[in-house]
A = this chain, B = another copy of it.
Amino acid sequence: MPPHEPGVTQPPDIDPEELRREGLVTPPGTDRVAHDGAGRVELAFTVEDTDPARTAEKKVRVPPGVTVFDSASWNGIAIDSTCGGHGTCHKCKVRLDRTEPVTRHDAKTFSADQLDAGWRLACLVKATSDLKVLVPPLTTRPKAATVGVGRQVILRPAVQKRYVKLAEPTLEDQVTDLDRLLAAITDLEPRADLHVLRRLPKVLREADFKVTAVIVDEELVDVEPGDTTEQRYAIAFDLGTTTVVATLLDLVTGTPVAVASMLNKQQPFGGDVISRISATMLDPLALERLQTAACQTLAQLAAQVCAEGEVDPAHVYEACIAGNATMTALVLGIDPEPLGVAPFIMSTPLPPTVLAEDLQLGLHPRARAVFFPALGAYVGGDIVAGMLASGMDRDKRTRLFIDVGTNCEIVLSDGDRIVSTAAPAGPAFEGGAIRCGMRAADGAIEVIKLDASGEQPVELGVIGDVEPKGLCGSGLVDAVAELVKVGLLDSSGRFVPEDVAKELAPALADRLTMIGQERVFVLHRPTVDASPEESVVLSQRDVRELQFAKAAISTGWTLLLEELGLEHRDIQQVLLAGSFGSYLSAASAVRIGLVPQLPVLRIVAAGNVAGEGAKMALLSVRERAGAQTLLEEVTYVELSDRPEFNDRFVEQLAFSHGG
């Protein structure tokens, strides 16, 4: 839905001392009493500064087993490092209040006295119980970027470049080309792939042994003549079932260079994941065609952002793809059938990293394409990316994350435990099965205000400021919510009788009419004398569709609240994810019961968090590791086998008039 693209934040280079900031990521420990919730350990950091007056104390809480380096990094605390936490750069020195095992890297880095005093490399110490950590003053000021829901990311991309000037070999110095190169890269220990070895001898000699090594994660993927360190790019893809968004990132600065979006070329196979899975079950060639269509979508966007950003695609060394489980399976060519039929089984929670070339993305020949892990067949990599971008695991508040769509993903965290589920909401929010439903495109009514007695009884917000042609998801929610508010819909979701309507809403009652046997509410007449059939209307059946959709969703979060022993009022924040969430009226969502009955200020549009998560994974290997950790932290709750599901669902069908 291109008109709904959230804006791109321009992340500035920031002072590490400014890393702590207001927003959704609360620096833990300073203004709250640390509580010993199950499954977390507390790390108390003392962050020194060259100016002793600026030394700061920060407490953070992380799942046991996370490294001290990650614990700091995820909470905006900068520690010197160039290798990205592989134990190879020997820079992330910290002093602990406890004796931890000495690794070979520690032994190389510290004297015996220092080891005795508790000095260790932060990336090699796993926090298994509470720990005090002294961080010495930074020797270099790290760059950071603002990404996701106010998340500060300290830049440490998987894609690294090192410019080296090597001594030419002689009979006295017959070190091999590769070892000569690797010896000059002091802070990383990459493996070389065949592609590099094939080019290495010629490139070294043609460039007089002055070359730039390109390293992705732990692989040396290329050697480029001369100094190319400033050309270092990656592309973040939000691979949606409907819309695909690409963001070209400059990894040197952490800033987006260009953004583009388009409809997923898989559309001809069906609008939702089930129809695309069905296609593969009916036609043995469909899987390959769907894969090709997805890859072509990504490739076309990649070409577009590179052209717009005036970046050579050969300088794009990594792509990160956030998509739901079906989109991920299809783009990789993995048989999706078990995702579509009970008991809904994924092939793997951790899709493998592949070559971008395998997907024919047209980037550097050895560029990698990485995927997000998935929690379940219907809580996929896009949601894990969204959790990463919204800091679901790093915030002490009780927060509810809802990504509204045909399949609606719901995540609930009480600051210690995180549970998630999926609710089958059906196509109503995308305009499907709705009489005048349409996508959020030009002509769609997206905002509706009703005034039972005022001068302007119906006020419409229309995308593109053109003649209204139909109703998109947010307009549908508004329409129902406003009709409930003015009393034209009763709590069971039925249009009230004509006489009741005239009494409650005299200015609107004449809009309640019939099409055939069905009652409808006319939202917009193209001409004064247009018939209801020619108008944009909301039908009784449309209301039922929305009721079922919202009941599915509210049953989902109700059961998750029960799972954690919480009540509605415990929720401190509701995040509405995705472009749909950005345009949904919080008041309307509350009124129809799509979200819990809470003050609207607690309901926040989180934007395209999947795409933001993909950007974070490209900007920081630590954040990428955080996405993997989520897989262990989040409990997936399957609703369809819950005996209480149907009871709760029926309870949730009604509209409350309390909002």
Contacts and interface: CB of A to CB of B under 8 A. Distances in A.
Interface of A: 101, 169-179, 191-194, 197-202, 205, 332-338, 342-349, 351-352, 354, 358, 376-377, 636, 638, 640-641
A458 B636 CA distance: 89
A65 to B, nearest CB: 11
Nearest to A355: B194
Contacts of A202: 335, 337
Contact of A638 (B174, B201, B336, B348): B174
Given A192-B348, A638-B174, A198 B334 contact: yes
A475 B641 CA distance: 83
B352 A194 contact: yes
Contact of A198 (B173, B194, B201, B333): B333
Contacts of A172: 641
A68 to B, nearest CB: 18
A644 to B, nearest CB: 15
A354 B193 CA distance: 9
A177 B348 contact: yes
A201 B169 contact: no
Nearest to A639: B171
A346 B641 contact: no
A335 B196 CA distance: 11
Q: Which of A175, A199, A347 is packed against the most chain B CB atoms within 10 Å?
A: A347
Nearest to A333: B198
6 contacts: A172-B641, A177-B347, A194-B334, A201-B335, A201-B336, A205-B338
Contact of A173 (B174, B178, B343): B343
A173 B342 CA distance: 11
Contact of A171 (B179, B192, B332, B641): B641
A346 B198 contact: no
The winner among A101, A176, A191 for most chain B CB atoms within 10 A is A176
Given A174-B344, A200-B334, A205-B338, 11 more contacts: A171-B640, A173-B343, A192-B348, A194-B332, A194-B333, A194-B334, A197-B332, A197-B348, A200-B347, A201-B334, A201-B336
B358 A194 contact: yes
Given A197-B332, A352-B194, A358-B194, A177 B345 contact: yes
A169 B342 CA distance: 9
Nearest to A325: B176
A428 B319 CA distance: 56
A354 B194 contact: yes
B343 A170 contact: yes
A590 to B, nearest CB: 32
Contacts of A351: 197
A74 to B, nearest CB: 23
Nearest to A199: B335
Contacts of A354: 194
Contacts of A176: 345-349
A376 B173 CA distance: 12
B179 A349 contact: yes
A358 B200 CA distance: 19
A347 B175 CA distance: 9
A345 B200 CA distance: 12
A421 to B, nearest CB: 12
Contacts of A333: 194, 198
A103 to B, nearest CB: 10
Given A194-B352, A338-B177, A201 B347 contact: yes
A19 to B, nearest CB: 33
Contacts of A358: 194
A188 to B, nearest CB: 17
Contacts of A200: 334-335, 347-348
